[in-house]
């Protein structure tokens, strides 16, 4: 065992002061960061009143909206007439068409009507004097012969009694609203109704095999148009799903992102050379351009879109302009910072040969800056595809406006799901294409 005397200890301390004489920040820096993070978390909880928000949040709406994304409903309305007969009505734009006669609505010999909401486990029988709701293994009669609907017997947990109606929640299968003179049923189906052909199409409600047969070799439905072109026209002009308008708006979004990014890159490229201190030794010009870039990118793309829609009206021109202004600032800053970080030796070597300024930039600067330009521009391009969707919601054109219109109705969530899926596919494809193009131009291999 080696013994170190006091002189040796002082010598080691003098040689390694960072180890033996650590500053307060070095000793307690990590602990202070942890404490500051915890304090900030507590402040955020208090500032946003998170316990109250979590307690008052409508969590049940999450399930409702998600179920509406992947399903559709049919809402028959049973009106009890004065003579005891029952009139069945469907919404004007029912997914079943103009004259629906579904097999899950059965007229009984005694004049009542039985509706199968979900097989035999969930059904509703409507008659003049009472409505019987069968669900969760029990049948609950609701008397409708008096002034207000009255549940006969104990009220189950899935039923809610109000002054003038009784609401029965049947889960995903649907729900039933019972009043004295009418019973309204919501029956839910998985899938997207009439996604290809709406109720006005000649191909509506036909089996897939029959549709294919008509398109391939069947007699013409309209003498002046082939069945193939008629089928395409019916799909494109589908009134319920509006495929033509959705795909047109999606293409507008892609064009807005491409045009805005391209124009922004073209404007930012020459300005970046003037803003770089090592390329243009004019400090006043450098600062003016850099502050100009800061101004353009500090105003959010959404705000630029609002300004431009007031100036030019709603449409893709305003969206392209908003992306152009934002990208000029963003790419200008990125390009100028890339130029300021290049190695000056190749540039000075070419300059020493007496080459012109253009050749010095071409061979001394561009080989170093091209990877930065390509990478950042392609990244901004794919990012702007997503951004163009957001600014479309404020009137700047594109699929964002269609998405906002569908969400505002609070009833077309399956259309919202359709457009969200299209946007996700486009973003995925553009991300893959951007990565492939970036690696190809920069000479790297993907793994």
Closest-CA residue to 105 (of 187, 222, 43): 187
> C-alpha angle 202/422/69, rounded to 5°?
75
Q: Say yes or no: 268 and 413 in one domain.
A: yes
Q: Say yes or no: 178 and 321 in one domain.
A: no
Q: Say yes or no: 317 and 170 in one domain.
A: no
pLDDT digits (tens, 9 = 90+) for 226-241: 999 999 999 999 988 9
Total domains, the chain: 2
Closest-CA residue to 300 (of 317, 320, 318, 325): 325
Domain of residue 160, residue span: 73-190
Tens place of pLDDT per residue across the chain (447 aa): 556 666 666 666 666 666 666 667 777 778 889 999 999 999 999 998 888 888 888 887 787 788 888 899 899 999 988 888 889 998 888 888 887 888 899 999 988 999 999 887 899 999 988 999 999 889 999 998 877 888 988 999 999 999 889 999 988 888 999 998 899 999 999 999 899 998 889 898 888 899 899 888 888 888 888 999 999 999 999 988 999 999 999 999 999 999 999 999 999 999 998 998 888 888 899 899 999 999 998 888 889 998 888 888 888 888 899 999 999 999 999 999 888 887 777 777 877 777 777 777 777 778 778 888 888 888 888 888 888 888 888 877 788 888 888 888 777 889 999 999 999 998 888 888 888 877 776 666 555
Alpha helices in 218-242 (DSSP H): 227-236
In a domain, 416, yes or no: yes
Q: Say yes or no: 266 and 342 in one domain.
A: yes
E strand or H helix at 24, and its extent? Answer: helix 24-47
CB atoms within 10 A of CB 270: 11
> Which residues, in sequence order, are CB contacts of 402 under 8 Å at separation 6+?
242, 245, 246, 249, 392, 419
In a domain, 213, yes or no: no
Which three-class secondary structure state does DSSP give residue 113? strand
What does pTM read for this prediction? Answer: 0.79
CATH, residue 304: 1.10.3720.10
Q: Say yes or no: 424 and 299 in one domain.
A: yes
Render 47-73 in DSSP notation, one character per residue. HTTHHHHHHH--THHHHHHHHHHSEEE
CA distances from 216 to 65, 131, 212, 220 (A): 39, 49, 6, 10
DSSP secondary structure letter of residue 218: P
Q: Say yes or no: 185 and 268 in one domain.
A: no
Q: Say yes or no: 264 and 167 in one domain.
A: no
In a domain, 2, yes or no: no
In a domain, 205, yes or no: no
Distance between CA atoms of residues 186 and 147, nearest Å: 24
Q: Say yes or no: 128 and 248 in one domain.
A: no
In a domain, 361, yes or no: yes
């Amino acid at each position: 065992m080696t013994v170190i005397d006091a002189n040796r200890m002082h010598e080691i301390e003098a040689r390694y002061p960072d180890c033996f004489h650590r500053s307060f920040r070095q000793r307690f820096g990590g602990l202070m960061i942890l404490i500051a993070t915890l304090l900030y978390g507590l402040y955020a909880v208090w500032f946003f009143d998170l316990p109250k928000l979590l307690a008052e949040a409508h969590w049940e709406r999450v399930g409702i909206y998600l179920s509406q994304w992947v399903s559709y409903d049919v809402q028959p309305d049973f009106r009890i007439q004065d003579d005891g007969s029952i009139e069945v009505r469907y919404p004007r734009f029912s997914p079943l068409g103009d004259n629906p006669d579904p097999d899950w609505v059965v007229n009984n010999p005694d004049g009542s009507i039985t509706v199968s909401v979900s097989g035999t486990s969930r059904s509703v029988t409507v008659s003049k004097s009472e409505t019987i709701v069968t669900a969760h293994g029990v049948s609950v009669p609701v008397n409708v012969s008096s002034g207000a609907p009255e549940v006969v017997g104990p009220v189950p947990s899935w039923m809610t009694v109000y002054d003038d109606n009784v609401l029965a929640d049947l889960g995903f299968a649907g729900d039933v609203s019972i009043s004295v003179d009418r019973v309204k049923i919501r029956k839910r189906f998985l899938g997207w109704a009439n996604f290809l052909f709406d109720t006005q199409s000649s191909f509506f409600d036909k089996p897939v095999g029959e549709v294919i047969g008509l398109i391939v070799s069947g007699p013409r439905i309209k003498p002046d148009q082939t069945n193939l072109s008629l089928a395409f026209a019916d799909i494109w002009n589908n009134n319920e799903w509006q495929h033509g308008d959705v795909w047109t708006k999606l293409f507008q979004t892609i064009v807005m992102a491409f045009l805005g990014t391209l124009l922004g890159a073209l404007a930012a490229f020459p300005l970046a050379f003037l803003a770089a201190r090592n390329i243009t030794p004019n400090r006043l010009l450098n600062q003016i351009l850099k502050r100009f870039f800061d101004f353009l990118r500090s105003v959010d793309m959404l705000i630029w879109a609002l300004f431009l829609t007031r100036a030019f009206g709603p449409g893709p021109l305003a969206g392209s302009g908003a992306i152009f202004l934002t990208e000029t600032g963003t790419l200008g800053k990125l390009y100028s910072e890339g130029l300021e970080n290049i190695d000056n030796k190749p540039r000075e070597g070419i300059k020493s040969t007496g080459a012109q300024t253009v050749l010095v930039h071409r061979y001394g600067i561009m080989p170093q800056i091209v990877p930065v330009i390509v990478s950042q521009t392609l990244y901004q391009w794919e990012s702007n595809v997503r951004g163009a969707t957001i600014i479309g919601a404020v009137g700047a054109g594109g699929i964002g406006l269609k998405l906002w219109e569908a969400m505002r109705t609070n009833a077309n969530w399956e259309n919202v799901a359709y457009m969200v899926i299209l946007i996700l596919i486009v973003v995925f494809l553009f991300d893959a294409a951007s990565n492939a193009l970036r690696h190809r131009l920069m000479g790297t291999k993907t793994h």
